Structure formats: C-alpha cells, structure tokens
Amino acid sequence: MSLCSENEHQLKYVLMNMRQQFGSGETNLHTFGKVLWEMGKFDLAEKYFLRMLEQLSPNDPLLADLYQDLGKLASYAGDLDKSMEWRQKAIALKTSNTLISRSNDDKNSHAS
C-alpha cells in the first residue's frame, strides 16, 4: 500500500491530460506549462515556462511563443510591466526573425 500526496495526484492528472491532448507526440516544459495554465496553476505554469526558457538557444523558433505566453501569464497575474517586457521581447524576436528570413529570401532569389 502506498500513500500519495495531493500534489502527486494532481501531477498524475496533468500527465494524463497531456497524453490525451497531445497524443504520443513529444511534450516539453512549454507544453507542460500550458496544461498547468489551463488547470489554473499559473505559478507552476510560469515556473515551467522559465525552466524551458533556460533550455532554449537564442535562435530557437519556440522562443517567441514562450515570451508571448510569459507575457500573457504576467498579465493574468496583474503584473502589466512584466507583461509588457515579455511581449516586447516576443515582438523584437519576431521582427528580427522576419528580417532575417526576408534577407535570406532576397539572397536566394538573386542567386538563381
């Protein structure tokens, strides 16, 4: 007989929810954070988003989405300054990626 804490039961529920929602595909800390967010566990969601942020490289395509989600979470928490910081990072990154993409497209069209 084993005793499980309430947190362990909640974690099992979260993992089952992830499997149902995302199938057998790969899940990461960002995905896990989103599930926690949907469950109303905003502090935990932010914790996992920040852990994911530490693992991503500066040019990872998930980075802008992660910044957006951190901005939304900060907004829900009522921290509008923090929300604006995260959203500005997301916009700057998306703008930078768009410019790089256009530059590469121009180079490729001139090479043809």
pTM of the predicted model over 0.75: no
pLDDT above 50 for 1:
no
Q: Are 110 and 72 members of one domain?
A: yes
pLDDT score, position 73: 95
Do residues 48 and 75 both lie within one domain? no
Sequence-ordered list of residues with C-beta below 8 angstroms from that of 93, at least 6 positions apart, any chain: 63, 64, 67
Q: Which residue has the higher pLDDT, 102 or 8?
A: 8
Both 61 and 112 in one domain: the answer is yes
Q: What's the CA gap between 63 and 53, in Å, rounded?
A: 7
Question: Among 38, 55, 72, which residue terminates a domain?
Answer: 55
Task: Tell me, yes or no, whether 29 and 44 share the same domain.
Answer: yes
Residues 111 and 62 in one domain: yes
pLDDT value, residue 36: 87
Closest CA to 55 of 77, 79, 31: 31
Domain span at 68: 57-112
Residues 48 and 93 in one domain: no
Is residue 68 located within the same domain as residue 36? no
Look at the chain and report how many structural domains it folds into.
Answer: 2
The percent of residues in the chain predicted with pLDDT above 90, rounded, is: 39
Query: Which residues 6+ apart lie within 8 Å of 86 measured at CB?
Result: 67, 68, 70, 71, 74
Residues 107 and 62 in one domain: yes
pLDDT confidence of residue 23: 58
- Paired tokens of 13: 């529920």
Tokens of 103: 């530059």
pLDDT digits (tens, 9 = 90+) for 5-50: 566 667 677 667 666 666 555 568 888 898 889 888 899 999 999 9
Please indicate, yes or no, whether residues 67 and 84 belong to a single structural domain of this protein.
yes
48 and 62 share a domain? no
